[in-house]
Structure 1
């Protein structure tokens, strides 16, 4: 852990205030190393494990350096999955909340027209998957003229998923006088080649993996025959009795099987895999973050956007075929200074995969005995008591920063010739309210949303029920989200 403080960096009051609310007190090692380089507008290549705080390491400098007045996007962040795009967008929004930074996520399987309309508005940061980002560039809906910052997040995973050509095509469309940052848990040759080809004398930062994988996570291996896995899973979860647990499976069929078994045994659980509708996937992820259920059964890719500080246990129900996946999976626990545990179920025929993982992570995973009947019986009462209750989320960052923010819905937009300045002028005239109390404003054709900060939402809502905007009387209500 770094000895530095966020006070050591030249950050605006708005960013400091957001960091304090998010309880970002001391920079993690990757944040400490990257911040000073990024704030100096230098290219950087970062090799750092998942869970090390890397999103904030690029999110903080981006939010700090963006010019609010500029209408067109100034930062583009590429992620391998939709889920991760949504998570990064949320993190950027939280960090830039009081600077009124507008971030949006673009990804496939969501209506293109909806994203096109949103991109017409002032947007500071675009986070997206390569395919949909390229679509917007080709159709002229994503303007690149003002792009000053380009970030590739989880570059190794991006290449594993076959996005290399699209990533290169996007880079070639960007202005040459930009800052480029590449983040990756591993640095395979293809990633190194990409960096060498498109970056300007990048600073290389490598955060040692050992501190994260062994100091904060206890790793264990249990040998089991395939047909004994479900029974073992139930025994392990009873004995471990985790606050929050992700169970990783190799295929969506395995996810469905495990989920059905746990659901029938009255576990508080949900599943996540690529076969689900996108809306359902996002709802499941959001529910897990909020603590609506305790166990999540998931495939690798589907869980990549999960950024939750208090997952206490990861179970590899199936050994990952790729050694990098082991790092990504187990990195879901032991985050933000919390202690975590990772237990891998291995069949007698999977020794070669385990050996490859051990060579890659640099240590031997210790074996543990499967829980005995007596131990399981002795822990069952405590398990039953906990599983009947809702998980308590101690550290929901978004909920914390949103506590004093109310989003208001107005029944008018572009078709009534309304602009952001009209809302600011009217709302800032309310006694007790200033322009600093007004956050992100989104104006659509027939409706508008305005974030009211600093706990002033109820005051503004009440006042606007009897106030016109640009001579027009609009219905105003508290937005659902």
Structure 2
């Protein structure tokens, strides 16, 4: 969190960011937050999932006064889904302050919204049409608004909201701070910026258009509570020599790494809260093959260069395309092929498509493996080990006992019993993984709505190593 602290953010918000699993600012946060804290207008041209909600949300909450009674901040979004997501993200950022954000959108009972407005939220996150309804009714007044954020301006333009936006901005004070975020900058958006923004700073964050040619990329659509079981099955079936499992937050990394160890896997986790000496020790074990599964956050794995990583598993979808490219680039190195497999919740599919557009690579869907697939993988590994032992020889000491057994029973039954005994069927104590829905994944480009975490006890799956892709 040191880089966030260096931006001049208050301790209450730093505490909230730590709770949310943020480790360090994204580029648009790093560049945008200081500019906004100075009070300047801003044009942010940023692609999907660059973390811009926190980029404007942190300064917005910092600058809003705690006393209720007037709307001090307005965020305009193109859709009600995005309005809900942004409002919840702002409330998470401000969870240790007295600042509250309220989503206002069409399709919800307006009387319910009027009742909520009587609790005097300092920030309104709204779709333009419904905000105009409240302005006409006099239930929302904007004369005291100090900051206006236009989120996904190009989407609002495409949906025909440009005139509403102009009228809303004309109602607010000329002394307001105005922020405009847009993935593209068509002429009407440029005209809007020239008319309503005063000497704005321009920040342009473009996702890197990079593809990893030697990495085979797949995804599985599953719900969050299935992830750990499916990961275990994949490890059993694919038998990676060295693999990295990426989690979104430090808490997730701790839970997954501990759960894997309880199942009998050789795994360790690294994230930003570990001391440098501990991280170095874990990485040394991973490079030397003492540990063959590394569970990591994006920040902890940055700059990681370990040869021989055959598989990358995205336990959680990364927040932006650049992080995805960074993750899968940990395999397929030095001319060797690699496999990257991403777990995707149904609501994240649009974000996955934005990653495909950035990387210019189709990510192929893969069916979820069954328990039978995992058992078959175990059997294949056992046969492989047995054949390797035959090739190595050095088993003369056992031949006499083998010949005695063959006089008592047929060879097929004897070999089948040996395979059954040699196949590892681990029955470990059940482990708990916290269900974690995405926090910063978007539909139109905002932050995905979080929900309360639930404790999930996954089923037991056998530990095994088998065939590889």
TM-score, normalized by length of structure 2?
A: 0.51
Displacement of 1:393 after TM fit?
A: 3.1
Displacement of 1:23 after TM fit?
A: 2.1
Secondary structure at the counterpart of residue 210 of structure 1:
coil
Residue in 2 aligned with 1:76?
74
Alignment of 1:210-225 (within 5 A): 210=208, 214=211
Residue in 1 aligned with 2:361?
365
C-alpha distance 244-144 of structure 1, shift in aligned 2 (>3 A): same
On the 8 A contact 1:18/1:401 being kept in 2, the answer is no
Secondary structure at the counterpart of residue 99 of structure 1:
coil
Match of 2:435 among 393, 396, 404: 393
CA-to-aligned-CA distance 1:317-350 (integer Å, 9 cap, x gap):
xxxxxxxxxxxxx96895798668799xxxxxxx
Secondary structure at the counterpart of residue 136 of structure 1:
helix
Alignment of 1:241-260 (within 5 A): none
Displacement of 1:121 after TM fit?
A: 2.3
Residue in 2 aligned with 1:36?
34
C-alpha distance 106-341 of structure 1, shift in aligned 2 (>3 A): farther
Q: Distance in 1 between matches of 2:91 and 2:327?
A: 24
Displacement of 1:13 after TM fit?
A: 2.0
Displacement of 1:19 after TM fit?
A: 1.5
Kindly name which structure, 1 or 2, has the bigger radius of gyration based on alpha carbons. Answer: 2
On the 8 A contact 1:53/1:336 being kept in 2, the answer is no
- Give the CA RMSD over aligned residues: 4.5
Secondary structure at the counterpart of residue 169 of structure 2:
helix
Displacement of 1:130 after TM fit?
A: 0.7
Match of 2:4 among 6, 11, 18: 6
Match of 1:381 among 366, 373, 381: 373
Match of 1:104 among 88, 95, 102: 102
Q: Which has the higher contact order (CA 8 A, sep 6+)?
A: 2
Q: Distance in 2 between matches of 1:137 and 1:24?
A: 36
C-alpha distance 364-40 of structure 1, shift in aligned 2 (>3 A): same
On the 8 A contact 1:18/1:94 being kept in 2, the answer is yes
CA-to-aligned-CA distance 1:114-137 (integer Å, 9 cap, x gap):
111221222110001110011111
CA-to-aligned-CA distance 1:244-299 (integer Å, 9 cap, x gap):
69xxxxxxxxxxxxxxxxxxxxxxxxxxxxxxxxxxxxxxxxxxxxxxxxxxxxxx
Consecutive unaligned residues of structure 2, counting only runs of 5 or more, are: 226-297, 299-312, 329-339, 344-353, 378-430, 440-449, 456-469
Q: Distance in 2 between matches of 1:109 and 1:4?
A: 42
Consecutive unaligned residues of structure 1, counting only runs of 5 or more, are: 221-235, 246-308, 315-329, 344-356, 404-481
TM-score, normalized by length of structure 1?
A: 0.50
C-alpha distance 200-377 of structure 1, shift in aligned 2 (>3 A): closer
Residue in 1 aligned with 2:114?
116
C-alpha distance 400-83 of structure 1, shift in aligned 2 (>3 A): closer
May I ask how many residue pairs the two structures share in their alignment? 283
Q: Distance in 1 between matches of 2:139 and 2:363?
A: 54
On the 8 A contact 2:436/2:453 being kept in 1, the answer is no
